[in-house]
Amino acid sequence: MSDPQSNGNGTGPRRRRGKRFLSPSEKYEIWLSLIRGEYTIAAAAEQSGVDRSTIMKLRSVARQGALEALAQSKPGVRAGHGPDPELAAAKVEIARLSEALKEMGVRLMLAEGKGRWD
């Protein structure tokens, strides 16, 4: 039978780590520590209790995400996509009030009748 700690090819014990999922904030902190040079990839993996390949993937995903975000950003332009919701609501309200005012003007003219221009 095979040894449960063996990697199957007889070269030695297999490293077993429990599956640990990192929260987004943990990933961000690990990425920052790598950028600052506080930890190496091996040290960050050991500290967080995950495999080195997980840290490598985290680093590449963070880098790609940062590059995509920087490519889409434009200096001086608001970060939101599309129009400002408050501005859109205000424009709708202005249009509604304009129509109501026109209707009231027509009703007033019909109620009082057309006066003479003296």
For the stretch 21-37, pLDDT in tens is: 889 999 999 999 999 99
The reply to whether 87 and 67 lie within a common domain is: no
Taking the CA atoms of 24, 25, 27 and 32 in sequence, report the sign of the dihedral they define: positive
φ/ψ bin of 107: left (φ > 0), alpha (ψ from -120 to 50), beta (otherwise): alpha
The reply to whether 31 and 66 lie within a common domain is: yes
Residue 21 domain flag: yes
Query: In CATH, what number is assigned to the domain containing residue 62?
Result: 1.10.10
Region 39-49: mean pLDDT is 91
Q: What is the DSSP string of 12-39?
A: SBPP-----PPPHHHHHHHHHHHHHTSS
End of a domain among 55, 73, 91? 73
The reply to whether 60 and 27 lie within a common domain is: yes
Residue 28 domain flag: yes
For the stretch 56-68, pLDDT in tens is: 999 999 999 989 8
d(CA 92, CA 95): 5
The reply to whether 26 and 65 lie within a common domain is: yes
The domain in which residue 47 lies consists of 17-73
The reply to whether 69 and 90 lie within a common domain is: no
d(CA 12, CA 53): 20
The reply to whether 28 and 66 lie within a common domain is: yes
pLDDT of residue 113: 75
Of 41 and 12, the structure prediction assigns the larger pLDDT to 41
**Do residues 47 and 26 make contact, with C-beta atoms less than 8 angstroms apart?**
no
> What total number of domains does the chain contain?
2
